[in-house]
Amino acid sequence: MKIVYSDPKTGKSGQMQLDNDRAALLLNHKINDVIDGNILGLDGYKLKITGGSDRSGFPMNKSIVGPVKTKVLRTVAWSGRNKGQKKRSTVRGSMIANDTELVNTVIVEYGSKPVAELFPENPEKKSKKEEKEEKAKK
């Protein structure tokens, strides 16, 4: 299971892979539950579950109770030419189960470890500003 954690103050995010023992601690939690960061190795941090997806790629939906997979009718267009158009799509329930592959979280309470250490810099990835500067030099 993968956990994606993000910092709302800086806008940065990171992810980590959980082994089966630590992933079992997340089972039966729901969207909007606040979990302890010690599960992920983030001492003192509190994380709020905001969503996720299962192995097939179906997104979690907080309005569906339980870990079930079901089809719902969603509104596609609120205005314009296709106003009121609806589409049937498959979603996963709001509870984390064994089928859950990815869980999205947001930091709501900070711990003793600096936030900069949580989000390691990727030297291969460059910002758009740096890419423009390199193109300008060439």
Whole-angstrom distance, CA of residue 108 vs CA of residue 49: 10
Tens-place pLDDT, residues 98-125:
999 999 999 999 888 777 777 766 656 6
How many angstroms separate the CA atoms of 111 and 105, rounded? 15
Alpha helices in 9-137 (DSSP H): 20-24, 115-118, 128-137
Are 72 and 59 a contacting pair, CB within 8 Å? no
Condensed to tens digits (0 to 9), the pLDDT of residues 26-63 reads 899 999 999 998 888 888 899 999 999 999 999 999 99
